[in-house]
Amino acid sequence: MYKGKKILAVIPARGGSKGVPLKNIINVGGRPLIHYSIQCAKGSKYIDRTVISTDDLLIKRVSEECGGDVPFMRPAELAKDTSKSIDALVHAVDTMNEMDGPYDYVVLLQNTVPLRKSWHVDEAIEKIFASEERSLVSVTEVEEHPILMRTLNEDDTVENLLHMNSTMRRQDFPKFYKVDGAIYIQKLDKDFNNDTSLNDGKLAYIMENRYSTDIDNYIDIKIVEYYLEKEREKEAEEMM
């Protein structure tokens, strides 16, 4: 709870995954992937309860072995390739409101961003509470700048994606950010429903790129494992 408001965190983890089979529980750095998001949420100072929304009994079992809370199963119709994240989130919120009484805010933590830390979540919660906005989304600065991106016409002539002069030093490029999928926060009021666009949250919480690595393929797993090893080496040095 923060400032008298009750906060629910939801970790979505459906069973189907085409890019990396059983991605939500695949071994990453010696632990199931979902372990990192569960521990991140449990380390928050403000989250009252964290639940995993899954349709898969194996993911449920592994999540519980990692200390996760799976008080309900996601309906199969909300776990298809074509299903929207917001529908699963609304289902989780409605279910938990019935179980625990009403929550004031929901924090969505995508399981595929394992390097996000508890302090990121707490900073994001503090930021939205300090504002008048009802939604927040975490972002990270883009590495491939859109000022150099082009679309192609049918005759193969190019069109600038941005209508800006790109003849400038890279260090003078204006900053652009992308939604990184690590943290979404929504106020649970009358405007929260199945038409809510999570990616269009109004308030930005900026994260460093290395914390925002999103696992979509096996190369991403290697990148995450590199950073995890660096973190463990640093922790070992600090204990010496």
Q: Write out pLDDT tens, residues 82-109.
A: 889 999 999 999 999 999 989 999 999 9
What CA–CA distance (Å, rounded) separates 170 from 226?
A: 28
> CATH code at 40?
3.90.550.10
Containing structural domain, residue 13: 7-140+176-239
166 domain-assigned: no
What CA–CA distance (Å, rounded) separates 27 from 20?
A: 11
Which structure tokens are listed for 32?
């199931």
Our count of domains for the chain comes to 1
155 domain-assigned: no
Reference 40, options 123, 118, 107; nearest CA is 118
28 domain-assigned: yes
227 domain-assigned: yes
Q: Walk across the sheet containing 105-108 and list its strands.
A: 49-53, 7-12, 105-108, 177-187, 135-141, 203-206
127 domain-assigned: yes
147 domain-assigned: no
The reported pLDDT for the residue numbered 174 is: 84
The reported pLDDT for the residue numbered 16 is: 72
181 domain-assigned: yes
* Ranges 10-19, 134-143, 221-230: which has the least confidence: 10-19
What's the pLDDT tens digit per position in 2-32? 999 999 999 999 987 766 778 999 999 999 9
The reported pLDDT for the residue numbered 214 is: 93
Residue 188 contacts residue 102 (beta carbons within 8 Å)? yes
Amino acid at 208: E
CA distances from 18 to 24, 102, 216, 217 (A): 12, 35, 10, 10
In 113-209, DSSP assigns E strands to 135-141, 150-152, 158-160, 177-187, 203-206
Which structure tokens are listed for 123?
């900073």
CA distances from 69 to 34, 133, 173 (A): 12, 29, 45
Amino acid at 87: D
The reported pLDDT for the residue numbered 18 is: 67
31 domain-assigned: yes
What DSSP string runs through 55-85? S-HHHHHHHHHTT----S---GGGSSTT--H
What CA–CA distance (Å, rounded) separates 182 from 158?
A: 34
Residue showing tokens 């070992």: 236
For CA atoms 80, 86, 87, 89, the dihedral sign is: positive
